[in-house]
Amino acid sequence: MVCGLPGIGSVAWLAVNHLQKELKAELFAEVFSPMFSPKVWLTDDGVVNLMKGEFHFWKNKNGENDLLIFTANEQPYSPEGQYELAEVVLELAQKFNVTRVITMGGMATDKFTEQPKVYVGATDVEQVKELEGIGAVKLAGGAITGTNGLIFGLAKPKKMPAICLLAETPGYLSLDANAAKAALQLSSKLLNIPVDVGALEKQAKENSEAVQRAKDLSRAGFGHESKKGGEKELPYVS
């Protein structure tokens, strides 16, 4: 199962929505709850929708593991709601005999990078090593806040293997397709499910150009000096 709710840089949400669309995974369950914000939203047709979580299912034609995909419009607004949603997601995962839970997120670094690193934490050391083997960086210490972290952490007492992939993202981007691409590519490699990331790449390229334009303006005298390289930034993980 791959899970991603909106969070820092919308990394997880972008990655998981892209995955669902590329695989044409099918909606099979919805979660409505007072743990979401007290509001509704409308489609361009004027049709109402509740805030909700959605489970999509993808049948693997290669005979390997099928895939459950979970995402939501937003994170529950209350701490209890975040725990509650994480439990709901894991209970459904257990019913479907999910063999591994993959959650994602962004790690704010305050600087833009073309090749964001992807950090990994897991419910056991073996999985950390497995992920290091395919290019992830061990997340040594620190905290992961929010539902993406709780789905990951609550899997542990349920004895479900789980990992959390956190792609580097500058804190100032609200939709970081580049980081989403990095997190998704690592998941794709791990799951052995090829995913075309063209659309994310296109969006990431636009991001990159926008950042470049901002830098050019800065060099031309409009901005303040950037911090000297080599300084260790305090990571904020979400």
Give Cβ neighbours of residue 173 (< 8 Å, ≥ 6 apart).
Answer: 9, 112, 207
Q: Applying CB under 8 A, does 234 fall inside the site for its own copies?
A: no
Which candidate, 1, 103, 6, places its Cα nearest to that of 56?
A: 1
Q: Which two tokens stand for residue 217?
A: 């303006």
Which candidate, 129, 109, 140, places its Cα nearest to that of 8?
A: 109
Long-range pairs of 135-141 with CB within 8 A, sequence gap ≥ 24: 135/186, 135/189, 136/165, 136/186, 139/164, 139/166, 139/237
Number of other residues whose CB lies within 10 A of the CB of residue 114? 8
Site string for its own copies, 54-83 (x = CB under 8 A): -----------------------xxxx-xx
Q: Applying CB under 8 A, does 197 fall inside the site for its own copies?
A: no
By the 8 A CB rule, do 173 and 9 touch? yes
* Stretch in the footprint of its own copies (CB under 8 A) among 13-21, 149-157, 174-182, 207-215: 149-157
Give the one residue of 26, 99, 156, 202 binding its own copies; rule: CB under 8 A: 156
* Stretch in the footprint of its own copies (CB under 8 A) among 27-35, 176-184, 197-205, 215-223: 27-35
Give the interface size with its own copies as a residue count (CB under 8 A).
Answer: 52
Q: Which two tokens stand for residue 143?
A: 């905290």
Q: Which two tokens stand for residue 174?
A: 């609200």
Q: Applying CB under 8 A, does 159 fall inside the site for its own copies?
A: no
Q: Applying CB under 8 A, does 133 fall inside the site for its own copies?
A: no
Q: Applying CB under 8 A, does 32 fall inside the site for its own copies?
A: yes
Q: Applying CB under 8 A, does 116 fall inside the site for its own copies?
A: no
Q: Applying CB under 8 A, does 108 fall inside the site for its own copies?
A: no
Give the one residue of 5, 18, 84, 116 binding its own copies; rule: CB under 8 A: 84
**Which residues sit at the interface with its own copies, rule CB under 8 A?**
30, 32-35, 37-50, 77-80, 82-84, 120-125, 128, 138-147, 149-150, 152-154, 156-157, 162, 164
